Structure 1
Amino acid sequence: MAVKRVAVIGAGAAGLCSVRHLSASPDLFSVVCFELSSTVGGTWNYTDNTGNDKNGLPIQSSMYKNLRTNLPKEVMAFPHFPFKTSLPSYITHESVLEYLKSYTDHYNLHKHIKLNTMVTTVKSRPCDGDKEFWDISYCAVDDQSNVHREEFDAVMVCNGHYSLPLYPTIPGMESFQGQVIHSHNYRSPEMFRDKRVVCLGAAASGQDIAIDVSREAKMVCLSHNKPPLQTYLPDNVQQKPGIRELGANSVTFNNGDEVQIDVLLLCTGYHYHFPFLSADCQVQISDERITPLYKHLIHIDHPTMAFIGIPKTICPFPQFDVQVRFFLSSLSGKFKLPSGEEMRRDTESDFERRLAVGFPPRYAHVLGPRQWEYNDELAELAGVELIPRVVQNLYDYVHETRVKDIVHYKDINYKLVDSETFRNSVKES
């Protein structure tokens, strides 16, 4: 088999994992990775800056200064590449970035990565039979008029989905005189000192940011439409239902309560965004559902294109590893994909099952408890090792401890004992 030339877009965790496995099989693949920023690590690169960077490009990272992971490092690691044992279980964004840079160094990935490089266009170019080429146009971020083009046999899209904020439509937003900020641009609690803040959205990051803000804010309302969180909260944090409307300096919640506020902090998530894909790539995004993707991963009509890291509510790095190896198994011919019609039926069946249990369409790629079955299925189809069951066991245990006390659950350290079991201990002061 001729060596396939593969383009990887993005050098965050998913992109680095892709480059690591591609470069490990030089008899099968050659790889070029395109990265917008000046270093690897993607969203884990913290910056005080918001808005646009010095080249006029949007700031990609959504890290805030005090962020610590909401999963323990023991479940976050790529297979066979653990975090330093000297670190606590819940680590800072600096430690995650250091880990990704160490991963890059260990597997000698830098030689495959073009930093400060923006992919401008990805075009599909069909050839004889089933063969397809991909034309990738790119430029240096500081010289965007000088565009280069290269040809590839396959494309792995790894640009993440935590950089383009999703802003909800709220009645009265245009007349609200307070500050409106998306969590993408949140950096430190000091900016809200002595202010009255509503955090809209109570997914994991919304909960963590509300607690972080409460260190400095006068009052924090955690507004959401979920059942009330059964957890200890700081004295200045209270739960409220979703927002009915905004006044000039107030918010009215769905239960009719009206509260005077200074800041509306939107922890409302992000859009999937692939601005470099041309129309002939035939990728559609509707209500945060990307189609047509087999197993949330492989383009059904262009099976030499993969999207790594699309699922939400997951244990990310181990899943990226399984997804990458599944795609490369199909690309090398080790695993034969089903027919296009079979893949389409599988995809629609998965979507219909979600709707049947009450999920809205925008939850098309949310996995949650389904992630383990999904990971195992990919691994078994591709003939690669399963993620050790201890990862699921600890992940599920952490979820149970978190929902009971979102303020203190990160004070616990964990140690993996074997492929099934773990033990824990309270962090020493």
Structure 2
Amino acid sequence: MGFSVSDFPFVVRSDSRDPRSFPSHGEVLAYLQDFAKEFEIEEMIRFETTVVRVAPAKEESGNGGFESTEKEKKVGRDEIYDALVVCNGHYTEPLLAEIPGISSWPGKEMHSHNYRIPEPFKDLVVVRIGNAASAEDISRDIARAAKEVHVASGSNAADTYIKQAAPWLSFIGIAWKVVPFPMFELQSNWIAGALSGRITLPSEEDMMVEIETLYATHEAQGIPKRYTHHLGITQFEYKNWLASQFGCSGTEEWRKETYLTTGVRKRRIGKSSLCFSSLPRFLFV
């Protein structure tokens, strides 16, 4: 499985589990639960807790850091932390397509963010808009119950940044079109190294030059700024650079080959034309 982290490989742990190289979302969830149990991560998580506010700590509080107001089961709590790592990724808020006339359409519209099980789609005609990984996974899942599943796609289908002026703030998982878990692992190790002082940050001037160079390169190639964190094939160079910073081996060749081969197979499918025998009753975006 290409998404597993280095020290916890994907292994089928019971006969009821999914052994495929491209498993179901249920198997991915089970893997994460196994990982949390193996390394006793759940003991360090505050469940049912909302972070209401985060702000740089006041100067009189000491050496930087962040103030946090949290709410756990309606009980408020103020905390001060040495560092803040934001790990909500880029899938928090669903983005629905603006389709003229959709309000008068008699069917239903749903974002993949809200998908859970295929049974509600039994005997329905479903249109899937998009061609990313979650779209393909959901299509296969829904096909077991739906009458028809149609695909509409218009295309084939330094992100860890700690500013010198705010070395206590960092983000994980902003990059997209990547193999996620191995990247998260490398980013986490790099951030831990930077916060502990084992990895020395470049000067703010050098980082700004690198960012400006990246933007200029994208502009020359006609790449819009919203694709700044789109990595695709360049993810492997990025991951290898992260790994080299703390003396870890880079991306295994089989992971890269799996990613590239899967991409080739997707491009062979190409665009799908829509020709409905009946009016679709469900639209996925």
TM-score when scaled to structure 1?
A: 0.56
Alpha-carbon offset, residue 131 of structure 1: 4.1
The 2-side partners of 1:92 and 1:204 are apart by: 12
Deviations 1:129-164 (CA, angstroms, capped at 9, x unpaired): x94221111111x31xx3101111111111233231
SS in 1 for 2:199: coil
Q: 1 or 2 for the larger relative contact order (CA 8 Å, sep ≥6)?
A: 2
Give the C-alpha shift of residue 126 in structure 1: 5.6
Q: 1:347 to 1:172 in 2, by over 3 A?
A: same
RMSD: 2.6
Q: Secondary structure at the match of 1:137?
A: strand
Aligned to 1:80: 7
Shift of 1:225: 1.5
Contact kept in structure 2, 1:119 and 1:137, CA below 8 Å: yes
| Structure 1 residue aligned with 2:71 | 139
1: distance between equivalents of 2:25 and 2:150?
26
Q: 1:370-415, CA deviations, whole angstroms, 9 ceiling, x for partnerless residues?
A: 1000111122233333232332123223333444469xxxxxxxxx
Asked if residue 103 in structure 1 is aligned to residue 32 in structure 2, the reply is no
- CA distance in 2 between partners of 1:97 and 1:198 (Å): 26
1:321: how far off?
1.0
Equivalent positions of 1:13-24 (< 5 A) are: none
Partner residue in 1 for 2:283: none
Match of 1:169 in 2: 98
- The residue type equivalent to 1:377 in the other structure is W
| 1:198–1:222 contact (8 Å) kept in structure 2 | yes
Structure (1 or 2) with the greater strand fraction = 1
Report what 2:139 is aligned to: 210
Give the one of 168, 171, 186 matched to 1:304.
Answer: 168
Percent of aligned pairs with the same amino acid: 33
Paired amino acid for 1:320: F
Q: Matches of 2:136 and 2:84 in 1, distance apart?
A: 36
In the aligned structure 1, how far is the partner of 2:224 from the partner of 2:108?
30
In structure 1, the gaps of 5 or more residues are 1-72, 230-294, 407-429
- What pairs with 1:383-422 in structure 2 (closer than 5 Å)? 383-404=247-268
Pick the aligned partner of 1:114 from 39, 43, 46. 46
CA contact (8 A) 1:127 1:133 kept: no
What is the Cα deviation at residue 109 of structure 1?
Answer: 2.4
Q: Is it true that 1:123 corresponds to 2:52 in the alignment?
A: no
- Give the one of 232, 235, 238 matched to 1:374: 238
CA distance 1:199–1:95, shift in 2 (3 Å)? closer
Alpha-carbon distance between aligned partners in 2 of 1:95 and 1:215, rounded to the nearest angstrom: 18
Distance 1:215 1:405, change over 3 A: farther
In the aligned structure 2, how far is the partner of 1:404 from the partner of 1:310?
28
Seen in structure 2, the aligned counterparts of structure 1 residues 103 and 220 have a Cα distance that, compared at 3 Å, is closer
Aligned-pair CA distance for 1:194: 3.7
In terms of fraction of residues, the more helix-rich structure is: 2
Contact 2:8–2:35, Cα closer than 8 Å, also in 1 = yes
| SS of equivalent to 2:210 | helix
TM-score, normalising length from structure 2?
A: 0.81
Which residue in 2 is equivalent to 1:336? 200
Verify: 1:179 aligned to 2:142, yes or no.
Answer: no
Q: How many residues align?
A: 263
1:77 partner letter: S
Higher mean alpha-carbon deviation, 340-349 vs 311-320, is at 340-349
Q: How far apart, in 2, do the equivalents of 1:352 and 1:190 lie?
A: 48
Q: Does the residue aligned with 2:237 lie in a helix, a strand or coil?
A: helix
Q: Which runs of 5+ in 2 are unaligned?
A: 14-18, 271-285
Q: 2:57–2:80: 8 Å Cα contact kept in structure 1? A: no
